[in-house]
Amino acid sequence: MGAVKLTRESILDGTLHASVRAVLGPEVRFMTDAERAVQVEAILARAPRPGRVWVFAFGSLIWNPAFNFVERRTARIHGFHRQFCLWARAGRGSPERPGLMLSLESRGSCTGVAYRLARHAVVSELDVLWRREMFTMAYRPVWTTARTSKGTEPAIAFSANREHERYVPGLEDGALVRYLATGTGPLGRCCDYLFDTVEHLRRLGIRDRRLEALEAKVRAHHAAL
């Protein structure tokens, strides 16, 4: 496994979605083009500051956004925290070796990266983002406030869809470490998703003690094997 790269090209040409369907089977439900267009239109209709759209990144969007942007800032949001609470049975996992993906859960705060989209390209770039993040509908897009060194900005963030079958709340550390350490799929190993996220947060001067503790435990798990 690990033959598929998550890029703008693989998102737009259907390679990413095809890799997921190959693992999960043809019956897997994907968001349609019409549904995606409706959601993008709906989120923009609720924009706090029309024409000024930022996207908040808490996981792989930090180090591999795949959409175009015109400005990037470190940012903090309140009311959500970063949590491994979504099954990855494709992508960074498989039915035989499932992994876990990050999402935003209610309460607390989260520091990550905010990207500003060009005004003329908001719809096209959100289309790319929706194709990437929302095709299985495991996230719930919300507007939040990103606090940056240059002020506050309205930002779209992706919180967990608690009604989705991939939602798995409350896993204990032992289970988290096991799935993070062993999950693998068409996009590669789940542990590398964790390691890359922690590394890029560190490069930005962001310390996530919870993720760093999980990283240490996953590396220890690998060493023990």
Q: How many domains does the chain have?
A: 1
Q: Measure the N-to-C terminal CA separation of the chain; round to a whole number of Å.
A: 20
Residue 62 is assigned to a structural domain of this protein: yes
CATH number at residue 136: 3.10.490.10
Domain of 152, in residue numbers: 8-224
- Non-local (6+) Cβ contacts of 116 within 8 A are 52, 53, 54, 69, 70, 71, 72, 73, 153
Residue 1 is assigned to a structural domain of this protein: no
pLDDT one digit per residue (tens) for the chain, 225 residues: 457 899 999 999 999 999 999 999 888 889 999 999 999 999 999 999 998 999 999 999 999 999 999 999 999 999 999 999 999 999 999 999 999 999 999 999 999 999 999 999 999 999 999 999 999 999 999 999 999 999 999 999 999 999 999 999 999 999 999 999 999 999 999 999 999 999 999 999 999 999 999 999 999 999 998
Distances (CA, A) of 92 to 52, 119, 151, 188, 199: 33, 33, 35, 5, 18
Residue 37 is assigned to a structural domain of this protein: yes
- DSSP for residue 164: S
215 is catalytic: no
Residue 3 is assigned to a structural domain of this protein: no
Name the catalytic one among 9, 35, 96, 133.
133
Residue 161 is assigned to a structural domain of this protein: yes
Residue 196: other Cβ atoms inside 10 A: 16
Instruction: Specify the DSSP element, H or E, that contains 99.
Output: strand 99-116
Residue 2 is assigned to a structural domain of this protein: no
